[in-house]
Structure 1
Amino acid sequence: MPTLQDPLTIVTDLDGSLLDHHTYGWEPAESWLARLQAQHIPLVICSSKTAAEIIPLQRALGISGAPFIAENGAVVRLDDTARPAPFLPGNKADYPVLCQRLAELRARHAFKFTGFADVSEKEVSEWTGLTEHDATLARMREASESIIWRDSAEQFALFRQQLEAQDLTLVQGGRFWHVMRQGSGKGAALRWLLQHSSLSDSATVTIGLGDGPNDAPMLDIVDYAVVIKGYSKNPVILQRQDKHNIYHTAHFGPEGWSEGLTYFITQ
């Protein structure tokens, strides 16, 4: 088991993991956050949230300027610039183009779904429990769209097929489906970040924490994986075979987050 003296990097999901699913608070994790900060252990956010949401959160957590992954891996930030996934050559699927493609598919096939681009901050606030100010930040998207699917399973299969034909893919999050460029995702983004940032030291030991199916690719490539008990109807299924390096928590949210770090890190 790693210790606080090892060259650790903590990679964390936000909603339902470090942040409470309902309140978005992180108070139960504060003691562990303080320990990590005291030992200068990097905390890398890997979330479905936008860069506009993550930057003020980093400030509140005392980790301003740290690299992060936003929009489920569709956006990566190494420094002060958040940009569409740099590990995808020729990535032109920025937000306006993506929304135009989705609108065309909806018109052509009569798909029933609603995205963030279709509604106001007030509706996003009602969907998520965010304040209208925070809902505004959630709508400041760069390379992915979050949607609520309201159609049949047959139509969904056709929708997925049509997206693939346009080099797009679907990722399931805790509340929404996320449409983004094929090849992006939390796992691909983290792999790129670990190779091209200040975290690229080969001796670094990574611990990942997440609660949803969209976290699985990220949890598959870290050294130690914490699967936090979540509210999703779909389980987090990992492909890795080293079961002794996977821990499933008994608690939700930041309580489970702290439980996972306590399990893996020898204090």
Structure 2
Amino acid sequence: MVLSLDSLMIVTDLDGSLLDHHDYNWDAASEWLTRLKQHQVPLVICSSKTAAEIIPLQKRLGITGAPFIAENGARVVLSGAHTAPTEPSDAYRALCQTLKALQSHFRFNGFHEFSDAEVARFTGLTLAEASQSRLREASEVVLWRDDEHRLAAFRSALAKHNLALTQGGRFWHVMPAGSGKGMALEQIQQHVAQQEGKARITLGLGDGPNDIPMLERADYAVVIKGFSKTPVNLQRSDTQNVYHTAHVGPHGWREGLDYFLAPTE
């Protein structure tokens, strides 16, 4: 199956997808990134990363000003007018206070409890990147230290505060109920269609359970082989529009684009 580049929009997860899970490079995807830019195919980042992390990355990828989805869909930026935050938002601080109250019932830690150096140590990020990952606006990253069977009770406790829990590639994320990568993608699809006067065909790529809403919303989906213990099972009947890669990270990303768009020369 070969899709046309003319009316396409790529929506991609970062860690473990476009970016290598361990060293965060995207060398294997670089040929496709160049080709997409040549054909003016929009590349929409859809990640658990913060806006403070995504904006500099967009610059390095040459897509400054493109819409993007941050914090698993809790933050949606439709235009390039957004500047990277320099401190955590009030909404985030309030969320952390709610979580602090729940720590008397459940064992977990949030990113706000750690220093930049500590976050860098357990994520593999540089010190600067770790600092950017802690400039959160709408969600919190949680390291679950309790028994797995208590997650259901944690979800219920969060729901009472209008919060939800989603699983990323290696961490849990607490975010406002009703937000997520699928809902965020819908907002961006509507925004782009309004701007261009037509809807674009979407090709989504992701490797973790938190990518499922985005991969189910996209017209075509690439499930990149990942490291999560939880499998990425899509509830789609159009299985011919879904491809599961044999490779991980940017090698899997390239494999998925090769499958749907034909390999680069």
Q: TM-score range by the shorter chain?
A: over 0.9
Q: Where in structure 2 are there 5+ consecutive unaligned residues?
A: none
Instruction: State yes or no: 1:258 paired with 2:259.
Output: no
Structure 2 Cα separation of the partners of residues 81 and 51 of structure 1: 9
CA spacing shift, 1:124–1:11, aligned 2, 3 Å: same
Partner of 2:230: 234
Contact map agreement 1:227 1:246 (CA 8 A) in 2: yes
Instruction: State yes or no: 1:208 paired with 2:204.
Output: yes
| CA deviation profile, 1:24-51 (whole Å, cap 9, x unmatched) | 0000000000000000000000000000
Opposite residue 166 of structure 2, the aligned amino acid is: V
Partner of 2:12: 12
TM-score by length of 1: 0.92
Partner of 1:104: 101
Q: Where in structure 1 are there 5+ consecutive unaligned residues?
A: 84-91
Partner of 2:155: 160
Q: Secondary structure at the match of 1:45?
A: strand
Question: 1:1-80 residue pairs with structure 2 within 5 A?
Answer: 1-79=1-79, 80=81
| CA deviation profile, 1:163-211 (whole Å, cap 9, x unmatched) | 0111100000011100000000000110111112466654411100000
Task: Name the Cα RMSD after superposition.
Answer: 1.8
Question: 1:109-188 residue pairs with structure 2 within 5 A?
Answer: 109=105, 111-188=106-183
Contact map agreement 1:12 1:18 (CA 8 A) in 2: yes
TM-score by length of 2: 0.93
- Aligned residue pairs: how many? 257
CA spacing shift, 1:100–1:196, aligned 2, 3 Å: same
Structure 2 Cα separation of the partners of residues 257 and 244 of structure 1: 18
Partner of 1:89: none
| CA deviation profile, 1:89-141 (whole Å, cap 9, x unmatched) | xxx9820110010001113x2x1101100110111111100011100000000
Q: Secondary structure at the match of 1:225?
A: strand
CA spacing shift, 1:201–1:207, aligned 2, 3 Å: farther
Structure 2 Cα separation of the partners of residues 168 and 224 of structure 1: 29
Q: Secondary structure at the match of 2:121?
A: helix
Structure 2 Cα separation of the partners of residues 215 and 242 of structure 1: 18
CA spacing shift, 1:200–1:28, aligned 2, 3 Å: same
CA spacing shift, 1:136–1:154, aligned 2, 3 Å: same
- Structure 1 runs of 4+ off > 4 angstroms? 198-201
Structure 1 Cα separation of the partners of residues 34 and 117 of structure 2: 35
Partner of 2:82: 81
Query: How far off its partner does 1:4 sit?
Result: 4.3
In percent, how many aligned pairs have the same letter? 59
